[in-house]
Amino acid sequence: MSYKILVLGATGNVGSSIVEFLAQKGEQVKAATRHPADYPPTDNVEPVAFDFDRPETYAPALAGVDRVFALTKTADIQADKTLIPLIDQAKAAGVTHIVLMTAIGVDQAPEDVPIRRLELHLINSGIDYTILRPNWFMQNFSPGFLLPMIQQGGTFYLAAADSKTSFIDTRDIAAVAATALTEAGHAGQEYALTGSEAYSYSEAAVILSEAANREINYVAIDDGAFREALASAGWRPEQVGFFADLFYIVRQGWVAPVSPAVGEILGREPISLQQYAFDYAETWK
């Protein structure tokens, strides 16, 4: 029997690239999306309905699947309640390997933190697992949450102070995930994924400016102003707290370290911030 790989978030930055990489490898893929009718099928990619908020979509999506790429919803403060049922259904359906993407540093979180509880549930599930913990995405500059600020005024505002981040390109995350799903040696492994160099947001703004041939600036704001800005943009209080706390971690310098994992797994250097900026330059012009 030919089994398929279910990719959650198939229209997102990471998921869409995973689907592309797996299709290039000749794998049969089920691309999970809330709107499968809008997803163009190909010879080996089957769009399938999946909604984190509709658990009844889990079982049909898992049918005929032996491997899964899973990730949490954006700013999901109850990641365990969302994804533990999926893990349990996947095990019951005969899934043999789950690659789970969380976030850098989750392994250092207390066991009662929802996203860490999710990781531990998978680790103890009896299913072969690989956990990917990427750092902040380069793609947050485009097409992520920073893009509207850059497009509207050429300046983005964050509570990151002058601390550095070893940003990672989502294409590298996807390449690692596709490798873990299709090649031996990654079961039971946990990888911190970063770029090869750390930059402050001021330094990143200079790199984006050079690529786009226009001035792009970063302005550091304090935590209170950042929370107010998120609330004014319509974020719910629990989401404001979650996101603001992430930038507390940035300010402490905890996301500056560089991990060798991407290079070791892919056999090449991670995509640099300069290369990312060159590839996406038209977005900021």
| Residue 21, domain extent | 4-137+168-193+257-267
Examine residue 16 and state whether it is found in any structural domain, yes or no: yes
40: pLDDT confidence band, cut at 50, 70 and 90?
confident
Q: Is residue 180 part of a domain?
A: yes
Residue 44 lies in a domain: yes
In a domain? residue 226: no
CATH code (residue 177):
3.40.50.720
Q: What is the tens place of the pLDDT at every residue in 145-155?
A: 999 999 999 99
Q: Residues 37-49: what's their mean pLDDT?
A: 91
Locate the DSSP E strands across the chain.
4-7, 29-33, 45-49, 65-71, 97-101, 128-134, 155-158, 164-165, 189-193, 199-200, 217-220
Percentage of the chain beyond pLDDT 90 is 92
> What pLDDT, on a 0 to 100 scale, did the predictor assign at position 156?
96
Give the Å distances, CA to CA, from 271 to 69, 180, 196, 201, 208: 22, 18, 8, 18, 15
Residue pLDDT, tens place only, 128-148: 999 999 999 999 999 989 999
Which whole-number Å values give the CA distances from 55 to 40, 52, 58, 98, 117, in the listed order? 24, 6, 5, 18, 19
Question: Which residues lie closer than 8 Å to 25 by C-beta, 6 or more apart?
Answer: 178, 182
Confidence of residue 41 (pLDDT cuts 50, 70, 90): confident
How many structural domains compose the chain? 1
Over residues 51-100, the pLDDT tens digits come to: 999 999 999 999 999 999 999 988 788 999 999 999 999 999 999 999 99
C-beta separation of 159 from 225 below 8 A: yes
Alpha helical stretches, state H, 39-169:
58-62, 79-92, 114-123, 147-153
Residue 128 lies in a domain: yes
Q: Is residue 118 part of a domain?
A: yes
Q: Is residue 203 part of a domain?
A: no
Q: How many CB atoms lie within 10 A of CB 184?
A: 6
Integer Cα distance of 89 and 10 in angstroms: 20
pLDDT in tens, 157-185: 999 999 999 999 999 999 999 999 999 99
pLDDT at residue 116 in the model: 96
The reported pLDDT for the residue numbered 2 is 59
Say if residue 1's pLDDT is above 50: no
pLDDT, position 77: 84
pLDDT reading at 253 higher than 80: yes
Contact present, 144 and 94 (Cβ < 8 Å): no
The confidence score (pLDDT) of residue 258 equals 98
> Does any domain span residue 43?
yes
pTM of the complete model beyond 0.85: yes
Question: What integer best gives the mean pLDDT of the chain?
Answer: 95
Cα separation, 69 vs 132, in Å, equals 10
